[in-house]
Chain A
Amino acid sequence: MKIMPCPLNGPRNISEFVHGGEVRDMPNPTTCSDKEWAEYVFYSDNQAGVVTEWWLHAASGYWFIAERHTVTDEIIRTYDPSEIFKARVEFSAESTAQEVSA
């Protein structure tokens, strides 16, 4: 089976992992337009080449980032998200809820 090098658990069968989609910036859901939100949720570059993606090791609930070639099916590099995300990303559920009820 194809092996995914997990930054936390080491090399594991790829069937233990779940693909999570391209790494991209989330627009602020309380202020962005519908089009911006749709772009974020549905649209994608869907590139043929090296992509940077979220992956989940399902058994340990650990999310990490993988650089992968979508034509050759090679996994180039995997690393902990802290390499990209220096500060904690806050999802303000309260302000979203207010927006909806307004």
Chain B
Amino acid sequence: MPFSLLKYGLKSDYPFEQDADLPAPTELKPSYDVVIIGGGGHGVATAYYLAKYHGITNVAVLEKGYLGGGNTARNTAVIRSNYLTSEGVKFYSESVKMFEGLSNEFDFNIMYSQRGQLTLAHTDATVRAFRQRAEVNKHFGGRTELIGPQEIKELVPTLNMNPAHMPVLAGLWHMDGATARHDAVAWGYAKGATQRGVELHQLTEVTDVIVENGKVTEVKTNRGTVNCGCAIQAVAGHSSLMAAKAGFRMPITTYPLQAMVTQPVKPFLDPLVSSSALHCYVQQTGRGEIVFGGGSDPYPLYNTRSTLELKESLLAHAIEMFPFMANLRLMRQWAGITDMTSDYSPIMGLSPVENYYLDAGWGTWGFKSTPICGKTMAELVASGGKVPDLIAPFAMDRFDVFRQVNEMGATAASH
């Protein structure tokens, strides 16, 4: 628990935070050592670790909208490391560990809540896959077990054990599974970065990336042109469009992902629950609302509209899992546009342009990686392009040598 919270608790007057705000906007400087394109969680986390661990503070984060207004503000905040591949599990486990300490690090409550995540298996094949995932996760220090129907009933008494006539055979119980307040993560990093001298420029859209002799020299924005020693793109759904400005293509397709939330009800659901066969996940927030999420939209789009079709199909499955929810009302719905790779793993590291780095391909699963991605991207940038071992498997050119890191099965139903 952050100690400031305890202090506040003991105060008689309303706790007013002196330095809650970000610094007032300034003009863009003509030149920065590092320009970060995209002020989502990933962009500001990279800026934070550049300043904190590498003393690099002549950094500008350029955000076309407002801080964390992209997918950082739209995700359902599932944090977990129970993936399938060794590369994936190693990487995401580091992030889970960093999340555990983030409130203390920021001295700001990100409402990290480690309630465990339960994924249901309805077929023998899925049970076998879960066994493997449990073992891989344990091997890399995670806490994951295969559990049977009796234990599932004890964890989630309200669950229908025979949803859509597909009996629940077993569950992958990931005790490290957690959730956090996504906005707070972006704010914590942004505050920490700007306090160390990083500039965050909101309402600043990058309109072109100028490459000369294979190197980025400047970045054009709606507020003028800045020179840069190097640049990082962390623009999620807009990854292909930004890469096109820098002159190359990416193995990414942009799909909308929708989510929704009900009116609040009394606490009844502690773990995050998802079903591999019903492509649906359900969790209850600290405020009592129930959050639903599922698979991506069926075709690519750069549009954050919501559709009735998705609601009908997703909620039909959610009601199979928790029949009493049929009486609840939806309160909000939204979508984000996500940068999907065909192997459901991210693209991090070098690009065809020498001093231009990639933080992309986060699709529907990149919130949980915010801390470790920021930390390793900062290492990459500070070393002038030496790729940290942890992220080497996620290089874009893995597709050129057909060495994908396949996380599809471990990602599709629960982000």
Contact = CB atoms under 8 A, between A and B. Distances in A.
Interface of A: 1-2, 14-15, 18-19, 34-35, 38-39, 42-48, 70-73
Contact of A44 (B252, B299, B400): B252
B153 interface: no
Contacts of A19: 298-300
A38 B400 contact: yes
Interface residues of B, number: 24
B302 A71 contact: yes
Contacts of B308: 1
Given A19-B299, A73-B303, A1 B309 contact: yes
Contacts of B240: 44-47
Contact of A43 (B241, B250, B300, B303): B250
B253 A44 contact: yes
Given A42-B251, A43-B251, 15 more contacts: A1-B309, A14-B298, A18-B298, A19-B300, A34-B401, A38-B251, A38-B399, A38-B400, A42-B399, A45-B249, A46-B240, A47-B241, A70-B302, A73-B303, A73-B305
Contact of A73 (B252, B301, B309): B301
Contacts, number: 63
Interface string B241-258: 100100001111110000
Contact of B402 (A14, A15, A38, A71): A38
Interface in B365-412: 399-402
Interface string B278-300: 00000000000000000000111
Contacts of B252: 44, 46
Contacts of B402: 34, 38
Contacts of A14: 298-299
Nearest to B240: A46
A71 B300 CA distance: 10
A43 B252 CA distance: 7
